[in-house]
Structures are given as structure tokens and as C-alpha cells.
Amino acid sequence: MAEASKSEEHRNALEFLQAVKIEACKAKAGKLRKSLENFDRIRDEAKARVTKLLDEKKGLEGKLEKTEADFTINFHHTEAYISFSNFFANVGHQEVIAALRLEHPDLDHTSLEAKFPPVEIEDKSDAFDPLEE
């Protein structure tokens, strides 16, 4: 009987140890599950941040391209304006000299040129052409 009682105590002790091991494994599994959930959450947040940054980068690249295009257009419009201004100023200059010759044929050509020199509008922009780079 003593042996049976020892055997039963031994079995009870083994069952208790097994129950403790099972609870310890459950606790570890719970911690691992929480760690995995935290890892998944952190990974998803990181993906969202990276996606947001990539979208912002695309937006900034688009703005940069638009700004470069606007600059190029404005640069060439400014060049064209200066060229046309010089052309029309000189056309006007020639008309003034022709009108003065008609009204005052006694004036010589050199004195008219001296009194009314051709107009030249200065290009005060730096000679920077973005297309040359």
C-alpha cells in the first residue's frame, strides 16, 4: 500500500509539474503572441510612414519639375521680350529718323543718328540657360 501511495504521489507530482509546464508554455506563448502583435503593428506603422514619405517625395518631385518648367518658360519669355523690345525700339527709331528726314531734309544723316541713337534694352539677367546644363 505504501508503494501504491508513493506511486500515486509520484503521478500527482508529475501531473502537477506537467500542469506547471503547460501554464509556463501558455505564458510564453502569450508573451510571444503579444510580441508578434507589437512587431506586426510596428511593421505596419513603418510601412505607412515609408509610403507617406514616398508620396511626399513624389509630390515634391512633381513640384520641382513644375518649378523647373515654369522657370524655363519664364526665362525664355524674358529672352523673347528683350529681343522683341529691342526690335520694336529700333523700328521706332528708324521711323523717327525717316520722319525727321521728310520734315527737315536739310539735316544731315549723321547729326540725326547722333541726336537719336538706336535704343538698346539691356539684358540684366545672368546669362544662365537651364537647358545648357
Sign of CA dihedral 124, 126, 130, 133: positive
98, part of any domain: yes
96, part of any domain: yes
86, part of any domain: yes
78, part of any domain: yes
Contacts with 117 (C-beta within 8 Å, 6 or more apart), sequence order: 93
127, part of any domain: no
Q: Which residue, 1, 3, 133, is CA-closest to 68?
A: 133
Domain that holds residue 91: 2-115
- How many domains are there within the chain? 1
128, part of any domain: no
Phi, psi torsion values for 126, nearest 5 degrees: -65, 145
DSSP label of 44? H
Count of all residues that appear for the chain in the document: 133
Q: What does the pLDDT profile of the chain (133 residues) look like in tens digits? A: 567 677 888 888 888 888 888 888 888 888 889 988 988 899 999 899 999 988 888 888 888 888 887 777 777 777 776 666 666 666 666 676 677 677 766 666 566 566 656 555 555 555 555 555 4
Query: What pTM, to 2 d.p., does this model score?
Result: 0.39
